[in-house]
Structure 1
Amino acid sequence: MTRYPIALGITLTLSVVPGPGPQASNNHLPQPWRQDAVVQGRDETYNTERFLHERTFDHLQAVPGPTDNGIRGTGGSVSSRRLYFDFRFRNDFGFNDNRQGFLLDIQRSEDLDGAYQRQLVGFRHNLTDTTELWLQGDVFSDKSESDVYFSVRQHLPGNSWIHGSWILPDTYFNNKTDTNDEFIRKPQSFFLQWHQAQDATHPPLGTTASLTVSPTSELLSRTENLQVESESIKAALTHRFRRDNWLWRLEVSGERTRRNYRLFEGDGATFPDFSRDHFTLDARVTDTERRYQPRLGLSYLDLDEEGFFGRELNDEGAIRRREPTVYGGLSFPVSSRTTLSPGLYLSAPDISQTFSDHRNRRHHGFTGKLTLPFETVISRQDHAVLTLNPTFYLHKFGFGGGNLQLHWPM
């Protein structure tokens, strides 16, 4: 029982980070429609190194499988004023011979629309040996902001399952809000996930495919003087496998978002649109039988955004980013519990960002970082690892941001 106070202390330390995971991993979680995303949008224009930071702050420990419990968080500086933060605590408290379970899933992260928080609480009931029914909610004191999740999971032959969710964001908004805002077409999101486990090794091997679809919704916000129609699709595919001594991870993620605004300004109205097409690819391999376990990876990010970016920026613009990155590293044991795992990240981004108020950014050339993560095993039994990761720029002289990671399976 002594591990829980330690884990809670580290969790609270990470949770006080004031800023906003890698996108592909997050897209394996349901990503329902969010009112703050379509109305406010994100509150920053990305700097040159923004996505390079995210890559260097990615976990060295393998991503948990979709049924794994535990604590997992990473946070690090992405500018002089902002922190990137991705945290999740998930646990399925089974009872009655595990035929029922209390579900707790706490998330703090960000996507391309900005930071978000979710505290999903719910109940799982095994209808049969192979069929589970789930009821979850993201509950707020303001009843108009609560989301409801209805889910079913069907276990299939061959150690696989398929999971589907129907999500009703801001379910009671029209009846419970104390504003004059209203849904003209209520939002809803559909989540579908298929998982095939290869075996029960650590880290888990297998394939996971996920899809979140949010059909067209329409919100009239008199508070922000706008009306917005929105629709989006987010998807991810991860495949982890082993060939002899080579451990591979392949990951693909994407998003397509479309929004149509009507902005009420003065005595007239304007009708800007917004579009986003986002694609990421990541492939990495580790030689697990070599003494220093060399690793090599290749990633590519493709992002196109154009139009009105929401009330937070209150601006129209266009963003085009193409960012290939090659990275690799080694692991050197320092003591029985601590490992130094230095890494190099070399990127050649092609960036063009233009906005109406002239907050423009262009970059064509080399960027890079050196990372020096110290991984400390804080519980051998639980495979729990705490990582302190200082980073340094290679394309200019300077500190590239500190990063703290926690990986604690339960």
Structure 2
Amino acid sequence: MMRPSGILVLITGVVCQLPWQKALAGSPHIPQPWRAEAVVQGRDEAYDAERFLHELTFAHQAEAPSAVENGIRGTGGSVSSDELYYDFRFRQDFGFREGRNGFLLDIQRSEDLDGAYDRQLVGFRQNLGERSELWLQGDVFSDKAQSDVYFSGRHYLNGRKGSNETSWLHASWIIPDAYFNDKTSTPDRFTREPQSLFLQWHQQTELRQSTTISINWSRESEFVSRQENLTVASDNVRAAFDHRQQSGPWALSIAIEGERSRRQYQLQGPQEGQRRDFSRDYLKVTTSARLNEHRLKPRFGLAYIHLDERGFFGRAIDDTGDIRRREPVVFADITLQASAATTLSPALYLGAPDIRQSFDATREDNHSGFMGKLALPLQFRLSATDRASLTLNPTFYLHKAAFGGGNLQFHWPM
């Protein structure tokens, strides 16, 4: 599935672009502001039957850094003969004046259900006393009309920053394309400007237990794109819950994330006066248990994806469709110590998805029945001190005789 040129691009991106979480950069545990290209263009592909199975098998092998820690973390893999799923993040708080201030750098590249995106946040942190911080960040472009502004605050409820037992509340107010109407050289305009709000509660204890709850809300906005001959009003809510704990010899985890999006399109040009709505309801649940005290460290888990999308998908696909996906997957893996610095973790993923997908301009693309993959991630520990690792993860289909895609992961807590 992955051509040699694709492997070269992937290795170059993950390893050489280091100015790059178990959470992804696209996770709702990270602020996800409104994006013009998401509501105007939408994603540029109709997912095939194996799409979400690929993402599950390409999940990060290493546990840390999480969505709320510093570090470099990337995963990328082939999801078709000409498409890569690609997610990386480089987050670092460069503290100075004994940590009372900090320069913030947060570089992200990922994708969500509306397609791929890049962010390069730069900013500044100012401490207020021992337990509170104020952040000012920006996703800055040479085209000033595209720059986003982030105002954030974090308050530590107990413990201190960097300790093994702490909890906090974090809030962000984001103004996407903050200067668009004043700075754009295009005929496009906001008639109702977007704003995005992010709220997070995080708790971590000495008992190796952590919980994170996050909510992203982009209130209703309206954007007139004369270049694409449409007006679109949209609102979006994304939320996530993540809990991990050690219970005797078992390491337990559960992660839940969901999205509710609504859009109303008024199409112009050849489709003058046509109104087309769009709705999305998405839920993903992943839970697992690992027996750490056994020499093979066996893990058992269950994942479930529920996706309903209906209506006009944006100018990239430029079609009206109806998608219904119900995808339960059970998975299991073991860890084999190949050498002092190398581990192999064979994993099985067995699912029975029910997929109903159709677009007005194309035939239906449905699937019902067994689907599975075998993954053979080989992890190399690059530095025991830094906990840095590189993982090569070839996968193979079980429901057909074919290569299931190559995956490369890089992990470096900082």
1:313 equivalenced with 2:317 (yes/no): yes
Partner of 2:28: 27
Separation in 1, partners of 2:258, 2:158: 29
Partner of 1:3: none
1:173 equivalenced with 2:180 (yes/no): yes
Shift of 1:16: 7.1
Q: 1:351 to 1:116 in 2, by over 3 A?
A: same
Separation in 1, partners of 2:329, 2:354: 12
Separation in 1, partners of 2:148, 2:206: 35
Superposed CA offset, 1:336-367 (max 9, x none): 10011000000100000010012421000000
* Matching of residues 19-98 of structure 1 within 5 Å: 26-98=27-99
Partner of 2:6: none
CA RMSD of aligned residues (A): 1.8
Shift of 1:60: 1.4
Partner of 1:198: 205
List, as ranges, runs of 4+ consecutive aligned residues in structure 1 with deviation greater than 3 Å: 9-17, 21-25
2:273 aligned counterpart, secondary structure: strand
TM superposition score normalised by structure 2: 0.93
Q: 1:368 to 1:292 in 2, by over 3 A?
A: same
2:256 aligned counterpart, secondary structure: strand
Separation in 1, partners of 2:70, 2:25: 19
Separation in 1, partners of 2:271, 2:349: 52
Pairing partner for 1:333 from 330, 333, 337: 337
* AA at the equivalent of 1:390: P
Q: 1:267 to 1:56 in 2, by over 3 A?
A: closer
> Is the Cα–Cα contact under 8 Å of residues 346 and 376 in structure 2 kept in the other structure?
yes
Separation in 1, partners of 2:327, 2:402: 21
Q: 1:80 to 1:65 in 2, by over 3 A?
A: closer
1:271 aligned counterpart, secondary structure: strand
Q: 1:218 to 1:14 in 2, by over 3 A?
A: farther
Partner of 2:162: none
> Is the Cα–Cα contact under 8 Å of residues 324 and 355 in structure 2 kept in the other structure?
yes
* AA at the equivalent of 2:224: L
1:360 equivalenced with 2:361 (yes/no): no
> Is the Cα–Cα contact under 8 Å of residues 14 and 74 in structure 2 kept in the other structure?
no
Shift of 1:11: 7.3
Pairing partner for 1:261 from 265, 269, 273: 265
Partner of 2:107: 106
Superposed CA offset, 1:205-242 (max 9, x none): 30000000000000011010000000000000000000
Separation in 1, partners of 2:240, 2:393: 27
Partner of 2:308: 304
- Report how many residues are paired: 396
Separation in 1, partners of 2:253, 2:69: 18
Range that drifts further, 226-235 or 156-165: 156-165
* AA at the equivalent of 1:81: D
* AA at the equivalent of 1:252: I
Shift of 1:128: 1.4
Separation in 2, partners of 1:230, 1:367: 35
* AA at the equivalent of 1:111: D
* AA at the equivalent of 1:407: H
> Is the Cα–Cα contact under 8 Å of residues 22 and 54 in structure 1 kept in the other structure?
no
Q: 1:124 to 1:238 in 2, by over 3 A?
A: same
Partner of 1:5: none
Runs of at least 5 residues in structure 2 that lack an aligned partner in the other structure: 1-9, 160-165
Range that drifts further, 172-181 or 55-64: 55-64
Separation in 2, partners of 1:25, 1:39: 19
1:106 aligned counterpart, secondary structure: strand
Separation in 1, partners of 2:210, 2:179: 39
* Matching of residues 98-137 of structure 1 within 5 Å: 98-137=99-138
Q: 1:77 to 1:349 in 2, by over 3 A?
A: same
1:361 aligned counterpart, secondary structure: coil
Separation in 2, partners of 1:22, 1:276: 22
Separation in 1, partners of 2:48, 2:137: 37
> Is the Cα–Cα contact under 8 Å of residues 24 and 252 in structure 1 kept in the other structure?
no
1:272 aligned counterpart, secondary structure: strand
* AA at the equivalent of 1:322: R
Separation in 2, partners of 1:305, 1:266: 25
Separation in 2, partners of 1:16, 1:399: 27
Range that drifts further, 105-114 or 150-159: 150-159
* AA at the equivalent of 2:170: H
* AA at the equivalent of 1:249: S
Shift of 1:384: 1.0
Superposed CA offset, 1:145-178 (max 9, x none): 0000000101102621000000000000000000
Q: 1:97 to 1:109 in 2, by over 3 A?
A: same
TM superposition score normalised by structure 1: 0.94
* AA at the equivalent of 1:144: A
> Is the Cα–Cα contact under 8 Å of residues 57 and 74 in structure 1 kept in the other structure?
yes
Partner of 1:156: 157
Separation in 2, partners of 1:200, 1:87: 29
* AA at the equivalent of 1:378: L
Q: 1:303 to 1:223 in 2, by over 3 A?
A: same
1:295 equivalenced with 2:299 (yes/no): yes
Separation in 2, partners of 1:346, 1:406: 26
Q: 1:396 to 1:120 in 2, by over 3 A?
A: same
> Is the Cα–Cα contact under 8 Å of residues 14 and 75 in structure 2 kept in the other structure?
no
1:381 equivalenced with 2:385 (yes/no): yes
1:219 equivalenced with 2:223 (yes/no): yes
> Is the Cα–Cα contact under 8 Å of residues 24 and 236 in structure 1 kept in the other structure?
no
Partner of 1:189: 196
